[in-house]
Structure 1
Amino acid sequence: MSPSDTEPDRPQRRALKVLLAAPRGFCAGVDRAIQIVELALAKFGAPVYVRHEIVHNRYVVESLKAKGAVFVEELDEIPDTTQPVIFSAHGVPKSVPRAAKSRNMFAIDATCPLVFKVHTEATRHFAEGRKILLIGHAGHPEVEGTTGQLPPGAVTLIESAAHAEAIAPDDVSQLAYVTQTTLSVDDTAEIVAILKRRFPNIVGPHKEDICYATTNRQAAVKAIAGKVDLTIVVGAPNSSNSLRLVEVAERSGCPKAILIQRAAEIPWDLLDSAGAVGVTAGASAPETLVDEVLDALAQRFEITVEQVTTANERIAFNVPRELREPAEA
Structure 2
Amino acid sequence: MAAFGSVFMPEMALSTFNGEHWSAAQNVAADKISLHPGAHVLHYASTCFEGLKAFRHEDGSINIFRMDANIKRLAQSTRLLTLPKFSPELIEEMIVGIVKRFATEVPAPPGSMYIRPTHIGTEPTIGKAAAPSATSMLYVLLSPVGDYFSGGAKPLRLLLEEDGMRCAPHMGMVKSGGNYASALQPILQAKQAVNADQVLFCPNGDVQETGAANFLLIDGNEIITKDLDTSFLHGITRDSLLTLARNMGMQISERKLSVDELLERASKPHTEASLSGTAAVMTPIGTLIHNGKEYTVGNGGAKTPTIDKLRSALNALQWGKAPDPYGWLTRV
**TM-score normalized with structure 1 length:** 0.29
Q: Which has the higher helix share?
A: 1
Name which structure has the greater RCO, CA cutoff 8 Å, separation 6+.
Answer: 1
Q: Which has the higher strand share?
A: 2
